[in-house]
Structures are given as structure tokens and as C-alpha cells.
Amino acid sequence: MARSMFLSALLVLSALWCAGATQVMQRPADYMSPPREYAMGDPEPQTISKRADGGYVQAAYFTNWGIYGANFQPTNITPSDLTHILYAFADVSPSTGEIALTDSYADEQKHFPGDSWDDTGNNLYGCLKQASPTLSAMCLSRFILVLLSVGGYTYSQDGHFSFVTNDSLRSAFVSSATSYIENFGLDGIDIDFEYANTPALAAGFASLLTELRTAFDALAKQKGDSTPYQLTVAAPAGWANYQYFNVPAMDAAITYWNIMAYDYAGSWENITANQANVYDASLTNVSTDIAIKWYLSQGATASKVTMGIPLYGRAFENTTGLGALYNGVGPGTIQAGIYSYDTLPLSGASVYENHTSVAAYSYDSSKGEFVSYDTPNIAKAKAQYVTANGLAGSMFWDLSTDKTGSDSLVYTTSQTYGSLDQTQNHIDYPDSEWTNIANNMAGSSASSTASSTATASTTVSSTSSPTTTSTGTTGACASASAWSASATYTAGNEVTYNGDLWSAQWWTNGDTPGGSAGVWTDEGAC
């Protein structure tokens, strides 16, 4: 009897420790290989039961290894559905506290279309250049903020955040983070520490965040920048990993709590379960609602909390369905047991949506294959939870595995929110070590782009063409088309508006010449 009670308690404790362990947020071992291909099905979702019924944040992780096997490039990002790009991952040295990039080619060197090999100076290329709204050939919006994400599951589990308990090493990290912001033209830092699950680590983590906030505010003041640099954390949803958090201190320092509301079930469980359910913790002792309510009860500001949404599914093989025993998790697309959302549902599977627990899964009875993942309907319901509870918005892991069009979960939540956060990004980095960032589009690559497009008044993104109505003018305005609110323009494009010639300073869509956004320079009367 005593032994039975001990084993039962041990199983519960094990579930508490394992549930919400986000092993998925790491570089896969075979990231250079293309994802495994599977036939995809298109069944009609079956509703199990129905749940009664400013600007929002849309943050998503872009992984620097995604450009290889997954072939997801910065140019594949849809800026209109996002407010934040969390660029993953940078590492941190546990012995020095200093940040380091993890793939120089992907981060700093890779040349994309529009990048010159003949630029003078010490110029930044790679995905970090593409993520910069002032330098990007992909023309990101002024309302996209780019944060460098430090950590991830692997580096965290390897003990790289042990430095947080040391005052001098924390100071080194703060200095390093501030330098990265200035050098790489960033809007802030995201920290994915998995996990600060001891009293000492939690206290050190809170101190680190407080010290980072002080440094970031000092940097903004020094530069005369009224927009604060942002500090976000990937926050765990499992009690064992957040129980020691000093929430009031952390909340005062950070911009957003990005709750990792996924990986509630996986190979560590004895039975199948939903991996990202909002309600009903009966199978895993974890739910998103429980986690969010805990953070709020401890002092987290609701308008700083985002709900993480997985762009992947957790698989279980040889099972009879939800809550049943299983044997194996299957090969997945890139990692064992993990299928990219863009491959789901697998061919032959039926899809089930539970609007009471707010969760979905697919099940193939002929194969005994169960996959827990979010559908567009469930993503919409999660966005409605966000709005109903006054939360900040959504976070996604990761962009490379989303679908496109109306099936995209990022698009679905964006459409549900309607209005997205309009915080403008930073564009002034005079002390950057990179010539093109320090010059803020006046560097060699930006200048050459501007000069080559100055006469091409209709050079815009492939999805939108500016109006080409004749202006009826001569001279400097003769080759410029009239400004169009529906067109997308890039640096150097010229338009006419209210009798003047205007030139774009960076990517723009919908910003009126002469407006407060400061996108357009008045070149004088036509």
C-alpha cells in the first residue's frame, strides 16, 4: 500500500516536472537535411464540443538553421501578420557571461538577392541584415521589431545560464546584450532560459532582467530615443519550472512574458494527451489557463502576457486515441515524434477539435497514429481567449513550419485580432561596428540600392503594384507615379503627392508623404 502510494506520487511529480518541458525549442541534430515528406490529408474537422463564448502582439521565432533543410529564408516571412521577430538562437558563455552568435554564415555572411559583393566597408549580411528594416531587401515594415533570442533548450540544459547567480558575469551579459543591440540594429533581447527552476537560479534570473532593463533604458536615454528597447522572456507553462519566479520583479523589467504554452505531452508521458490545451489538465496536470492565471495571480501584467502557439504537432504511435497507452512516437518530419504543422494532418487521418479544452488532434485508426496539434479553428479560439482576458497577443514556434494563406496559424490569429501593435522599430545605430547599420541606409549597399531604384518608380514588392496614373508633370516629376495608399515602396522609390516629389527612405506601405511616420522626404515642388 505504502509502495503504491509512493509510486503514484512519483508519477504525479514526474508529470509536473516533465510537462511543459519545451525540448522542441532547439536546433535539431539533422537540421541540414530537408524535412521528411509525408502525404497530407484534408479531412473535415469534427467538433467534439463547443465552448461558449488596441493593438495585439504577434511574435514569432525565426531560426537561423531554418535556412538549410527547411529552406525557410527571411524572404518567406509575411511582415503584415507580425509585430516581433525573435531571432533564434544566440548562445551565452557560462564562464564569461558574454553572448555569441551560433552560425556566422547564416547570421552575418550569407548573401541574399540584392546584396552586393562589391560593397566597401565592414558590412553586415546574412539573416540579421535581412531582418533589419533599414537594410532588408525583403522590405520589412517599420512596425516589425527584431529581438535577438539568447538560449533555447539545448544551451539551457547544457548549463549556459548558470552565470545568472554571479554578479560580475551578469554584468558582462548586460554589457554584451547592449553591444549586440547597437551593433546589429536590434530592438531588444529575448531570453529563452529553460529553466530557472531553483531558488538561486530564479533569483539570479530576476536580477539579470532588472539589470538589463536599467541598461536598456540608459541606452535609449543616451541616444535620445523615446522608444524603449524591449526585453522579453520565453516563460514556462509547467509549475515545476516557474514556481520560484519573482514575478513582480521580473514583470517590472520585461516587455512581454511569452508563455511557452505547448509541449504539455510527448514521449515522456505514459499516455497520449493534448500538447497545448487551454483548459482541462486532467491528463497532464498542465493547461495554458492554469499557467496564465498563475502568472497573473503572482503579479504579471495581463497586457504583457502572450500565449505561445505551436506550429508543429506531437505524435504518438500504436494507440487507440486520446488518453490511451501508446508505443513509440514515430519519425516526425525533422525530429522524432514532431511533425511540422505544414505537413498536418497526415493522409488518412481524421481531425478532432475540442472547443471545451480548446485543443485539437488528428487520429488515423488504421495506423493507430495520434498527433496533437493546433488547427486554424483552435488558433482562432486561442486568440479569442487572449482578447477576452486582456492579454497582449500570441507567440509562435517557429515560422519555418507554418502553412501559407488562410491555413496559416499566424495569419489566423492576426485576422482574429484585427489590429496589431504599432510600436515603431529603432533605426538609429551610429555606434554599430557594421558600416551599413551605422550609416542607417547611407552605407554602400543602401546607397547602391537607392541609386538603382531611384528611376524605377514602380519597383515594389511582388504582391502589390503602385498606381501608375500619369501625374501630368514634367521635369523631376515626369518619371514618378502618383502615391498610392495600397502600394508598397522601398528605399529610393519616388512618387508625386500634392504637387511635390517625394522619395522613400525605407520600406513603406500606407504611410502618407508628409505624415508623422517620417518615411518620405520632400524633394521639392514638381
- Active-site residue, from 194, 353, 369, 494: 194
- 77 to each of 27, 72, 180, how far by Cα in Å? 19, 8, 23
Residue 519: predicted pLDDT: 66
**Which residues of the chain carry a pLDDT beneath 70?**
1-23, 26-54, 133-140, 441-475, 486, 488-491, 505-511, 515-519
Strand, coil or helix: what is 354? Answer: strand
List domains and CATH numbers for the chain: 13-417 (3.20.20.80), 454-525 (2.10.10.20)
Residue 524: predicted pLDDT: 87
- Residue-wise pLDDT for 314-337, tens only, equals 999 999 999 999 999 999 998 999
This prediction's pTM? 0.77
Which among 83, 146, 70 is positioned nearest to 335, based on CA atoms?
A: 70
Dig out the grid coordinates for 340 from the structure. 511540422
Residue 12: predicted pLDDT: 41
Residue 27: predicted pLDDT: 66
Which stretches of 23-149 are DSSP H helices? 104, 126-130
- Residue-wise pLDDT for 387-435, tens only, equals 999 999 999 999 999 999 999 999 999 999 999 999 999 999 999 999 9
Contact yes or no for 32/334 (Cβ under 8 A): no
433 is catalytic: no
Residue 134: predicted pLDDT: 63
Which among 385, 378, 195 is positioned nearest to 296, based on CA atoms?
A: 385
Residues 6 or more apart whose CB falls under 8 angstroms from that of 77 comprise 62, 85, 138, 140, 399
